[in-house]
Amino acid sequence: MKLKFSISTFIRRSRALCALALCVICSLPMQSFPASTSDTNRMVLVRDITSVEGIRENMLVGYGLVVGLSGTGDRQQTIFTVQTLANAMQKMGVLISPSAVVVKNIAAVFVTASLPPFARPGAKLDVTVSSVGDAKSLEGGVLLMSALHAPDGQVYAEAQGPLVLGGYSAGSGANGKQVNATTVGTIPEGAIVERDASVDISGFKTVSLLLRNPDFSTAEDIANAVNLEFRKPVAAALDSSRVDISVTEASAASVPMLISRVQKLSLKVHTPAKIVINERTGTIVMGGDVKLSPVSVIHGSLSIQVVTRYEVSQPLVAPLKGNAGQPVVVPDTTVSVNDAPAQSMRLDEGANVEELVSGLHAIGTTARDVVAILQAIKAEGGMQADLEVQ
């Protein structure tokens, strides 16, 4: 039997099959698949994980006097407060004897502030005012002009103005109530910069990036990202916390433009496997990359409670004439023991933090119990992470 099959017939049938397949595809419901965000969520900018060497803040500190308090200032035993007042009055042309002054509406304070990089004269800073003596509250006080010094002893800013407190106090003694601290306040934009502390970066030959969390992999990734951006080797990782970029090799128009271009780059961050435990508060912070080896945990609790109650009993013998019977206080002690059955859980190879926490909650552990269990797992070698106890 011979089959006759022409080319034209094959073409017509092929077209029919293609049209049928297209109709079937178009009739299927369209489903959108979102792009994976696992990589995007881990991408960070270089400026968020590094700082430029030589560009930093500077600490300022000064001593001053807060006035206008409603009887909540330093008491008489705080001698330096009265001495400070006498010195301030002397500058105003008024001579007073510190031993003859009794005031309760003033308080000696320390004034602190941070001088940002490239601060110019006339810029304003936020300051924090903290009581030095035994003042009860700085509420309603005004800071007199105080000089703020840097570690080199020079005056870089002057502070003055009314205080803003984050708390309050009302009443006194047993009927008093206090919310938050009343001996520390702030003055928004309360200081004015008087000395130029800016750094001239135009002469930099090398821009050094300092990692906030040192890591060799991250430092190498930053150097590779910079070299890829400039299409030539201009950056090199010196160690786990420093990456140097050659200004000459980068051929940048200026150092600020070079820094801006580098800080806009994004890359993945390698999060170390680490667990931080604060035993005082029972706080536990665990990274998502922490892995556990196969381990079994058995947890049980034994509680013993001793309660003593005092009961008053009447004397059994009738009192003699003229003597009133005195009641007798008899202690009644009750001891109760609660030995809860041990709870157990098992983690398989490669278990993560979520599985560990879920398992510990399932067996009824508290935050402090988890601290002891994590330390035991680390000692046994079942935890592949650094354990930091604060």
**Structure confidence by residue, pLDDT tens digits, 135-184:** 888 988 999 999 999 999 999 999 999 999 876 666 565 566 666 678 99
- Which of the residue ranges 156-165, 273-282, 309-318 has the most confident prediction, judged by mean pLDDT? 156-165
**C-alpha separations of 123 from 37, 59, 157, 237 in Å:** 42, 16, 9, 36
Cα(273)–Cα(290) distance, rounded to whole angstroms?
5
Q: Which residue has the higher pLDDT, 345 or 12?
A: 345
- Mean of the pLDDT values across residues 319-330? 61
Q: Residue 190: its pLDDT value, please?
A: 94
Report the C-alpha gap between 304 and 307 in whole angstroms.
10
Most confident option among 47-56, 69-78, 339-348: 47-56
Output 117-123 pairs: Cβ under 8 A, ≥24 positions apart.
117/55, 117/56, 117/57, 117/197, 117/198, 117/199, 118/55, 118/198, 118/199, 119/193, 119/196, 119/197, 119/198, 120/193, 120/196, 120/198, 121/193, 121/194, 121/195, 121/196, 122/192, 122/193, 123/192, 123/193
Bridge-based pairing of strands 206-211 and 242-246 is antiparallel
pLDDT at position 338, please?
A: 59
Mean pLDDT of the chain: 78
Give the mean pLDDT of 231-255: 92
Which residue did the predictor score with more confidence, 265 or 34? 265
Residues with Cβ < 8 Å from 93, sequence gap 6 or more?
A: none
Mean pLDDT of 22-34: 39
pTM: 0.65
For residue 20, the model assigns a pLDDT of 40
Q: How confident is the model at residue 98 (pLDDT cuts 50, 70, 90)?
A: confident
Judged by average pLDDT, the poorest of 18-27, 92-101, 378-387 is 18-27
Query: Which residue do the tokens 């020079």 mark?
Result: 154
Angle at Cα 308 formed by Cα 306 and Cα 311, nearest 5°?
160
Question: Strand, coil or helix: what is 62?
Answer: strand
Domain ranges in the chain are 58-166+181-193, 206-268, 275-316+326-389
Write the Ramachandran bin of 309: left for phi over 0, alpha for psi from -120 to 50, otherwise beta.
Answer: beta
Q: Is the pLDDT assigned to residue 288 strictly greater than 80?
A: no
pLDDT greater than 80 at residue 240: yes
In this predicted structure, the answer to whether residue 264 has a pLDDT above a threshold of 80 is yes
> Which of 8-12, 100-104, 182-186, 337-341 is predicted most confidently?
182-186
* Residue percentage of the chain with pLDDT more than 90: 34
- pLDDT single digits (tens) 60-96: 999 999 999 988 888 877 888 888 888 888 888 888 8
- pLDDT bracket for residue 30 (50, 70, 90): very low
**What tokens were used for 279?**
């035993």
**Could you give the angle at which helices 255-263 and 216-230 cross, rounded to 10 degrees?**
120
pLDDT exceeds 80 at position 302: no
| More confident of the two residues 287 and 127 | 127
CB 134 within 8 A of CB 77: yes
- Name which residue leads in pLDDT, 165 or 315: 165
Using alpha carbons only, how large is the chain's radius of gyration in Å? 37
Q: Give the pLDDT band of residue 116 (cuts 50, 70, 90).
A: very high
Residue 252 predicted with pLDDT over 70: yes
Q: Please give the torsion angle defined by the CA atoms of residues 77, 82, 139 and 70, in that order, rounded to the nearest 10 degrees.
A: 90
For residues 12-27, b (16+ Cβ closer than 10 Å) or e, as one string? eeeeeeeeeeeeeeee
| Spacing of C-alpha 52 from chain mean position | 22
Task: Pull the structure tokens for residue 321.
Answer: 């004439």
Determine the Cα–Cα distance for residues 118 and 14; give it in Å rounded to an integer: 74
CA-nearest of 122, 110, 119, 124 to 80 is: 110
pLDDT digits (tens, 9 = 90+) for 195-235: 988 888 888 899 999 999 888 999 999 999 999 999 999 99
